[in-house]
Structure 1
């Protein structure tokens, strides 16, 4: 996906577009292209799909593009700020769109499109068009000096931990490392946080796949030295 986004950004040269509009256009076309390549390159059959949450970082902006029920959360000082809203079939605007296209949302172990898929947007899942679409929602957040970490994760994490719980884990770990930065071996702060969140999710018997990426927003933070 990162290669597709880079190529689509270079290709998006429409005159007169404000920078936010240019990013929205590039990210939208990136998700559409990835969705088409699933079919044209025989990556997966029509019955298979995936969520996708993409982060683009500049010196002053965090740009998030999300399709599905993976999620991006920003840990800023003592705040935990959601940067995406899960695209679930029973979300009011998504429910209206699905039903407007003649679709149905059925409660079968949670709200699902035709009782099958528990999200309303995805890359792939062609058998559920036009109700499941690969159109992302894009948000822009101005960076601050208080920004600590960006958490990008699939619902294997969010099914068993709330945004606030994840933020508290991040802050607790950062406080511990500031007080006693010497631990065993050498590891990046971001990797250590991702590992810890994965362990908690598994301990809570998460039943879905757990994919977690942590981006350390403190560029000068040193690696932890493990004892």
Structure 2
């Protein structure tokens, strides 16, 4: 008898421990799929890989806001709280941890790839753009900018693997290529992502030697101290858990989405319902890296969104459609919040991070719901590790 989803959430330690070494340096942790394994005969999930890591937090003392007493119109004093000095939300962006899983699931081949690159760039928060406190001391300090990407290949794994190995380098190069003169920071990132995705598309043909019928989705998040910048091609997806909210950072680019359908038909293409809406009855997405044989209807042009970070942010989740085919945004967000808070309240050891626990259990739930695709999930815990440890333990207290 299969376990219920509530029981799966309870079993936070039920999946195998990560088999890749954690990384908290600027080096990438990139999942390749050459050693992927098929589902075992018992029905257990065979992991391609999982990994987690911490970017250690630096404790920044927070001065208490001063109390001011103001006279009121009725003669009684009114106490108000003065505005505290502004500071970067991300506290130099060093207090996040991450975990990921990537499994072959019920597919015969593994075509997903994952890239986690802590500190793929190092800049001041003000220089990157969108700082919530541009005049603060922390805004002018050099801090890391992190890269997370999920790539879901189709027709083969070549393009997905290439994107996992190369995309972060291309984005950094394109960002540096743009000058500050005449570019508002939103526009600079939009240009860097658009040019970067186009370059990755072109390079995949030559460097990855990808056939014309091979392609990949690409959902990428760049995390600075104060901003979450998301770029998406295809139907992989990213969400943000903020307080009790689940906020979509991407919208699937499907052929029957009204604007995408109009674009395809204006170019002389057709969308045919063949086990779902597909471009010419072939591809179930309208944008991707690769897929040269379906130009100009399939394009590598990303949609880019910006979200300012807040202290209420719980976690980021990026995943391939092996998760989203069987769970809604709200279901994933609710499960992640419930498990994260339960894990943080517990006295678990550091053998596995809360982010890794969420990635493992979302994978188990998706598989239990009969997901038929590869399943790749990245979870980024946005709560400072130091902040999580501030509550004193009562273990051993009489």
Pick the TM interval, shorter chain.
over 0.9
1:200 aligns with 2:365: yes
Aligned: 1:127 with 2:293: yes
Q: Quick one: which of 384, 389, 393 aligns to 1:219?
A: 384
Q: TM-score, normalised by structure 2?
A: 0.54
For 1:151-166, list aligned pairs within 5 A.
151-166=317-332
1:45 aligns with 2:191: no
Q: Which residue of 2 aligns with 1:114?
A: 280
Name the larger-Rg structure.
2
Give deviations 1:117-153, integer Å, cap 9, x for gaps: 0000000011100000000000000111000000001
Q: Is 1:167 matched with 2:339?
A: no
Q: CA RMSD in A?
A: 1.4
Q: Tell me which of 172, 176, 180 is aligned to 2:342.
A: 176
SS at match of 2:351: strand
Deviations along 1:74-104, whole A, 9 cap, x unmatched? 0000000001000000000000000000000
Which among 374, 379, 385 is matched to residue 209 of structure 1?
A: 374
**Structure 2: tracts of 5 or more residues without a match:** 1-166, 390-398
Question: Cα offset for 1:62?
Answer: 0.4
More deviation, 41-50/173-182 = 173-182
Distance 1:130 1:18, change over 3 A: same
Shift of 1:41: 1.3
Aligned residues: 222
CA contact (8 A) 2:340 2:355 kept: no
Cα distance in structure 1, aligned partners of 2:196 and 2:208: 18
Q: Secondary structure at the match of 1:144?
A: coil
Structure 1 unaligned regions, length at least 5: none
Aligned counterpart, 1:186: 351
Quote the Cα distance in structure 2 between the aligned partners of 1:43 and 1:8. 23
Deviation of 1:42 after TM superposition, in Å, equals 3.8
